[in-house]
Structure 1
Amino acid sequence: MYTYITTGTYYFLKKLEEQHPDECMLLMQNAETALLWHETKGATVFQSPRKYEVIHSSGQLEKKGFIACNHVPVREEGRPVFEFKFTERMKKVESFPGFTAFRLLRPLSNDTYIVMTMWRDEEAYKDWKQSSSFVESHSKALQSAESTSVFSGPSYVSVFVLEDKKEEDAD
């Protein structure tokens, strides 16, 4: 399974999504940008996307909700350690209230992984970030990172909203 990501204006990406109704696509946006994700076993319809292999997933992608993407640069030699430890850590989030889906994406053309979690809404995501499970799993990750130095640079988080078509049409 692969995920392809492209950027553009919200309306351009919405039109592209509508042209491919049988494809698994997520149109997400925040104050700075809009992204269109295409998850498929085959080729993408995008002309020049960022390419990722889905190496761990749980839950079903939905067309509404809240998404948090942790962008994590990982050294080539650190990839197996990072993938194993992150997959183990994510088991804690899967049973958290409001959790919808998770994807661990291995980059195919750079060093930055994407750890995507999908939530019912922003409130569920904030509840997770304030939970003891979050604090415990992230403190273990920091200890592990300091001892193995698998990271090639600082990580950062970007957040997005997905809008349900039915809700948009009702407005």
Structure 2
Amino acid sequence: MKKVLIFLVEDFEEIEAITVVDVMRRAGVQCDMCSVSDEYVTGSHGITVKVDVIMDCVEARDYDVVILPGGPGTENLRKNVRILEFVKDFYMSGRLTAAICAAPAVFADAGIINGHKVTSYPSVQNELKNSIYLEELVVEDGNLLTSRGPATSLPFSYAILKHLGLEEEAEALKEGMMYNFLKENQ
């Protein structure tokens, strides 16, 4: 079974986090919500989530993907040296390292975006120095995957599934969740 880890810190963007967790679990992927220290974490819109694991109990080698949701909580991700080290080590191991919204700024802080194609929420574009910035919904370059923001949470999730080799599951979910209908009727 494929396993992904998603970090939740205070003020995380709920849509970005919960959408990813939901899509992963629908596809049969174990998706562990991880906190740095507390069992409960409150997002930027007051939604409190009980996490599955605490960082001290996590072994990076047990996961295929690490995911960072954005929102105001990105600053809490950026200030946490343990998360920065985890992200850098995970990336250096060659496994998919994914971030959405403002969270690609964590990649800049970890020193892993140099020369890579990336995207993000527009307000953090200037912080992604030494990268190749693209205004696309989702950008995958090597083992980095980035996306724009809350509205791109579904395509971001489907891209993670595709990377995991679960393309059929992603396509079935696009149909079942009416994502294809949405795209056809824009």
TM-score by length of 2: 0.27
Larger radius of gyration: 1
Structure with the largest fraction of strand? 1
- Higher RCO (C-alpha under 8 Å, 6+ residues apart): 1
